[in-house]
Structure formats: C-alpha cells, structure tokens
Amino acid sequence: MPQHLQKDLERLKKMVLDIGTMVEESLSNAIIALNKRDKTLAESIIDGDSEIDQREVVIEQECLKILALHQPVAKDLRFVVAILKLNNDLERVGDLAVNIAQRSTTLSSNAPVPIPSDIKLMADKAIVMVKQSFDSLIDTDTHLAETVCAADDEVDALQQRLYSQLQAEIKKAPQNVEQYVQLLSVVRYLERIADQATNIAEDVIYLVEGEVVRHRGN
C-alpha cells in the first residue's frame, strides 16, 4: 500500500472512531434521560446533534478525497466504501437518539407512567448492537458482525411484544394515551437503531469477505 494512502486511511479510521464514540454516548444518554425523566440531559443530546452532523459531512468529504486522489482497489476500496456507508448509518443512529430525547422531554412534562421493563431490555440490546457493530469494523471481526446480525431478531421480537403491552395499557388508561404513544415511538426508534447496527455489521462482512449479505436471507 502506498505510504500516503495508508496515512489517509489511518486518519479516516481515527475520524470514524471519534464519531462512533459520540454516537454511542448520545444513545446511552438518551436512554438515561428517558428512564430518569431528565429533561436537561435530553435537551443536551438534542443540542449536541449538530456536531455529529458536521463530522459526518467531513468524513464523507475525506472518503471522496481518498477515492479521487488514490483510486484504491480491492480491500482498500471496500474499506472506503464501507466507511461511507457506516458514516451514514452512524449519523442516522445519532438522529434516532435525538428522537428518543425529544420523546423524553415530552414525557417529562406529563404525568409519569410506568415504563415497561422490556423497553430498557430493548434499549440495552440496541446499544450493545451499535457498540459491537462499530467494534467489528475497527477490528475487522466478521464473527462479531454475525453476532450483531443474529441479535436483530431478538430486538424485533421485543418490539412486537412491547407494541402489544403498550396498546393494552392505552385501553386500560386512555387518559394517558399521549404518554403511551410517546413510548410506542421510542420502541420504533430502538428497532430502527438495531437495523442501523445490522447494516454496519453487514458492511463489515462485505469489507472483509467481499460478500454482500444484506439480502442473503432472501
């Protein structure tokens, strides 16, 4: 590998590490804000999203610069393409964390309702999936990436169970319908976060093995 290309790829990996850490922190704090009805923390997540957006643009520009200047091939090319896609997925996770924080601010302004324990379980699984998908990229670990893909089914099952639970709560306490609708939105956002983590894991498998697995189940 030419020295200049290697240097640019290392810098690109560092940039992705930074945005990944920021997204993980934003997501974890969004769940804390939800559970603790912490409006101040939720608002800080919303305010901090612009920094993630800016970094996503810079990483995209860096990827395009590497493609134009170095014209990488084989695994180096797949790495840059995978980073381009992962960069978008991470930014989307950041947006979904903001969506959860926004739901938290609404919930904190209304009469409190019990948050089903399965929401915390679902959130914990989604956070682990994001972290593992990110780690699988940094370590080019396809086994870890496959673990993330397998975990998506567990999150989908929790989503269906929570939809049923929350719909039942609405029927029992229609006066709290607004709060339960907010929680239904949180469940939907968590499922989407798991999907984004799965996308990242699938891109890691593509990076290492050169195989597109997104539609392999079909």
CATH of the domain at 160: 1.20.58.220
* Per-residue CA distances from 200 to 12, 74, 77, 95, 98 (Å): 16, 19, 16, 16, 20
pLDDT above 70 covers a percentage of the chain that reads: 96
Q: What is the pLDDT of residue 36?
A: 93
Q: What is the pTM of this model?
A: 0.91
Q: What is the mean pLDDT of the chain?
A: 92
Assess if residue 202 is contained within a domain.
Answer: yes
Assess if residue 218 is contained within a domain.
Answer: no
* pLDDT tens digit sequence for 26-79: 999 999 999 999 999 999 999 999 999 999 999 999 999 999 999 988 888 988
Q: What is the pLDDT of residue 53?
A: 96
Structural domain containing residue 81: 3-209
Assess if residue 216 is contained within a domain.
Answer: no
Instruction: Report how many domains make up the chain.
Output: 1
**Does the pLDDT of residue 184 top 90, yes or no?**
yes
Assess if residue 153 is contained within a domain.
Answer: yes
Rounded to 5°, the CA angle 81-190-29 comes to 95
**Does the pLDDT of residue 215 top 70, yes or no?**
no
Assess if residue 214 is contained within a domain.
Answer: no
